[in-house]
Amino acid sequence: MNAWLGETPKYLVPNPTPEDREFWAGARRGELRIQRCTTCGEHQHYARMLCSHCGAQTLEWVTASGLGTVYSFTVIRQNGVPPFDERVPFVVASVDLDEHGARVLAAMPGVEPGAVAVGMRVRATFRPASEEFGFVDFEPV
C-alpha cells in the first residue's frame, strides 16, 4: 500500500476538462460522482455531453453509493512507468456500479492479487492526487 501513497508524479495528476472536473474533485472530497440521465434513467461514467445509452442531453450529477461488483480484473505484474514499477504486482478491476449502466475501471491498492475474483462485491475508496483532485480505488466489501 505504501507505494500508492506519497506525492503523485506530475504526469499522473488529473488534468480535468470542463465536463469531468466534478468527478475528480468529488474523489478528493470522498464522493464517487457519476452522471445519471433523467430521460432513460441509466448512469454513465466517465462524464460526457450526451447520454451514451440514449443520446439525450439530460444529464445530472449524482453521488453513487460506491458499491459495485467486479466485472473483470487483472493483476499487473509488469509496468515500466514509475511509480507503477514500484507498485507491482497490483490489481486493476472493471467494476459495475450498483447504479445501473456505469462501469468504473480502477485500481485495488491494498488487495492481495489472489484475493480478487470476478463477481466480488467491492466499495469505492478515495486517494488524494493533489490539493484539488483525487483518485477512486476499490476494496473488497
Partner 1 sequence: MSRTGAGVRPDTRVSYRPPLVTRRNVCVVGVGLSDGPVTPDMTGLMLEAQAFRRALDDAGLAPRDVDGLASAGYGGMHEVMLAEYLGLRPRWLESTSCGGSSFEFHTLHAFRAIEAGDADTIAVVYGNNQLSASGRTLGTGGGGGRGFAMPLPMAYEFPTGLTLVGAYAMAAQRHMHEYGTTPEQLASIAVQMREHAARNPSAMYRDPITVDDVLSSKLVADPLHKLDCCVISDGGCAIVLTTEDRARDLPHRPVYVRGAAGATTHHSIQGMADMTTTAAASSGPKAFAEAGIVPADVDMFAMYDSFTYTVLVVLEDLGFAPKGEGGAFVADGNLRLGGALPTNTDGGGLSATHPGMRGLFLLCEATRQLRGEAGDSQVAGAEIAVAHGSGGWLSTQGTVVLATEPR
Binding site for partner 1 (CB under 8 A): 11-12, 14-15, 17, 20, 42, 44-46, 51-55, 71-81, 84-85, 87, 90, 92, 94, 96-97, 100-107, 113, 118-119, 129, 135
Q: How far is the CB of 79 from partner 1 (least distance, A)?
A: 4
Q: How far is the CB of 60 from partner 1 (least distance, A)?
A: 18
CA–CA dist 32, 63 (Å, integer): 6
Q: How far is the CB of 72 from partner 1 (least distance, A)?
A: 4
- Using the minimum distance from each CB to partner 1, give the nearer residue, 30 or 98: 98
Q: Is the dihedral of CA 90, 133, 34, 19 positive or negative?
A: negative
Residue type, 75: V
Q: How far is CA 67 from CA 82, 89, 131, 134, in A?
A: 30, 24, 25, 18
- Using the minimum distance from each CB to partner 1, give the nearer residue, 100 or 121: 100
Residue type, 25: A
- Using the minimum distance from each CB to partner 1, give the nearer residue, 62 or 92: 92
If you search the block for the grid coordinates 473488497, which residue do you land on? Answer: 140
Q: How far is the CB of 76 from partner 1 (least distance, A)?
A: 5
Cross-strand bridge partners of residue 126? 136
